[in-house]
Amino acid sequence: MVVSILIFIATLLLLVLIHEFGHFIMAKRFGIKVEEFGFGIPPRIWGKKIGETIYSINWLPFGGFVKLMGEDEVDTVTVNKEKQNRDFRTKPVSQRIIVVVAGVTMNLILAWVLFYAVIISQNFKIIYPMLSPAVYIAKVENDFPAQKAGIKVGDKLVAVDNQEPKDIEQARNLIRSKDEKPLILTLTDSDGNSSRQVEVTPKKTASGDVLIGVIFSPIPFREYTSFTEKTFSGISYSWDITRVTFAGLGGILRELFYGNFGQISKSVAGPVGLAVVTNDILSSGWAAVLPYVWFVGVISLTLAIFNVLPVPALDGGRLLFLVIEAVTRKKVREDVERMVHQVGFIILLALVLLITFSDIRKLLP
């Protein structure tokens, strides 16, 4: 467990550094002074000034930050011209937008790279994100009835002779109960669309098992077959996860509206919960390398998604104010923006602490 926690902390550090490096490198590109590059939330544990930037480690290991000259300040820039030229507020709105979205972009690119690595390593096959388990086709065996009937990896089994299986075991039993007689399978794609029916006659093996030649899974798999699908597989897979993420977020908001806080706590995980998942994945040894790479890709993509939401104190909240400025050609009052971000930061910090408390409670007997 200790090793898994250390690996998770190192992973979190990597993801934060990559995100903040996006802000850092673009700020440098536009001549904006970076006053501090920090991991975690202050108060500071350690810091060292290298050049004009302080590099720091802070007590609360939830994210990180890049402090830019002039950002979140409300005083008018009245100092010398050299400082004005390096102040975040004095830069064109287009440059400020690029600096703000650079962190999200870095997390998105990292997710693409990791997903491509997993997809290519598995011969362009990967688990397909879904909100709830069902009965899916994970593999189709050669020279078996399922292959001849045109059943494909990723298909969802909806019914066997109009009987809906509740789980994998029931699906197997329904097929076995037909012996070697023809049966009708109702299938859809992974998303539950494009319903079709196929007739399959199970085959009895030497061991006496009655099989159609498929391996079931509670989660779907997707195979990228064409050249175009393979070329854009990492990007399209990221889009699939994004769709599921927003669907899940919609479900959380519905539960919140109805006051089902217990259900919400089951659906949400913070740093402690992610550390537990890390330990579960890594418990299988070297076989866990690809699953963990996939897991890190999901975290990186999730960070990108939530950071771009128009929530105060997040990149998306700052982006919203910049878009308003770009459209109206008038800055929002700096004191108003700063207050909004401060309130948002307090609320976000409270939510993180609540989620962490919920994760710890899940671990208790």
Place of tokens 């993509």: 301
Is the entire prediction scored with pTM above 0.75?
yes
Q: If you write DSSP's letter for every residue of 52-103 in order, what string do you get?
A: TEEEEEEEEEEEEEEEETTTT--S---S-HHHHHH-GGGS-HHHHHHHHHHH
* C-beta contacts of 195-203 below 8 A and 24+ residues apart: 195/158, 198/149, 198/150, 198/151, 199/149, 200/145, 200/146, 200/149, 200/151, 201/145, 202/145, 202/175, 202/176, 202/178, 203/144, 203/145
pLDDT at position 72 is 66
What's the confidence (pLDDT) of residue 270? 82
pLDDT score of 103: 95
- For residues 167 and 151, what is the distance between their CA atoms, to the nearest angstrom? 19
Q: What is the pLDDT of residue 62?
A: 65
SS3 for 91-112 is: CCHHHHHHHHHHHHHHHHHHHH
Give me the residue spans of the domains in the chain. Answer: 2-119+293-363, 136-223
**Are the CB atoms for 189 and 155 separated by under 8 Å?**
yes
Check residue 18 and give its pLDDT: 94
Provide the pLDDT for residue 12. Answer: 87
CATH 2.30.42.10 applies to domain 136-223: yes
Q: Profile the chain (365 residues) by mean pLDDT over runs of 10 residues.
A: 84 90 95 91 90 89 83 57 78 96 97 97 89 85 91 92 91 87 92 91 83 89 92 96 89 80 74 85 83 94 94 93 94 89 89 86 78
